[in-house]
Amino acid sequence: MRDHGAVTALQRLDDIIPYQGQVIGIGLGGSEAQYPARDFATVFREARQKGFHLVAHAGEAAGPQSIWEAIEALHVERIGHGVRASEDPALVNYLQLYQIPLEICPTSNLKTRVVKEFASHPLHDYYRRGLLVTINSDDPSMFATTITEEFWALSQHPGYGWEDIKQLTLNAVQAAFIDEAEKSRLLGIVNQYWSQII
């Protein structure tokens, strides 16, 4: 949690070292505007050196600069949310070029009023432009949703058909923190399943 500070974050990193293998990555959440990502650069550098995967919530409660900091100061592999990247065309282009996964959480974004309505969610533009977007539930107990419900809501939106749901599922596999052999296996399963539907 950003709000607990970098010293606490370093201590928590030390706490999980014995569980490496069960814990595969670290994430940064909390108040983006009050506690910028750059304050946690040392924590993320140490975590990367120890072999952990790196994620940060960014571009939700704060603007594009928060995403840039997560990328440049923390060297994250995925961005939680990232919806406000749309305010910076250069950032959107960067995310598309380098295929940095965005963990998009539509219901959460609507309930926190980061996005006013589903029809205007940046997800739609990101997806059409070829960004590596995935569909997520954020905190299911807090936002009363599941991955299934998120996909169902998306399938009811004009412009999304079965091929799009399939592609978003493939995106999730591509963004997963698994080795290439397991990724290839899962991609095969997804393609085989969808070949029976589409």
Global pTM value: 0.94
pLDDT of 52 reads 97
pLDDT of 81 reads 96
pLDDT of 22 reads 94
Going by C-alpha positions, the residue among 29, 28, 81 that lies closest to residue 59 is 81
Taking the CA atoms of 164, 166, 172 and 178 in sequence, report the sign of the dihedral they define: negative
* Residue ranges, the chain, pLDDT below 50: none
pLDDT of 1 reads 95
pLDDT of 121 reads 95
pLDDT of 134 reads 98
| Integer-rounded Cα radius of gyration of the chain | 17
CA pair distance 104, 81, nearest whole angstrom: 5
- 108 is written with which tokens? 């959460």
Phi-psi group of 59: left, alpha or beta (phi > 0 → left; psi -120 to 50 → alpha; rest → beta): left
The residues annotated as belonging to the active site are: 60
Query: Can you list the positions of beta strands (E) in the chain?
Result: 25-28, 53-58, 78-81, 102-104, 133-135
CA pair distance 144, 141, nearest whole angstrom: 5
Query: Can you list the positions of beta strands (E) in 33-152?
Result: 53-58, 78-81, 102-104, 133-135
pLDDT of 138 reads 86
pLDDT of 159 reads 85
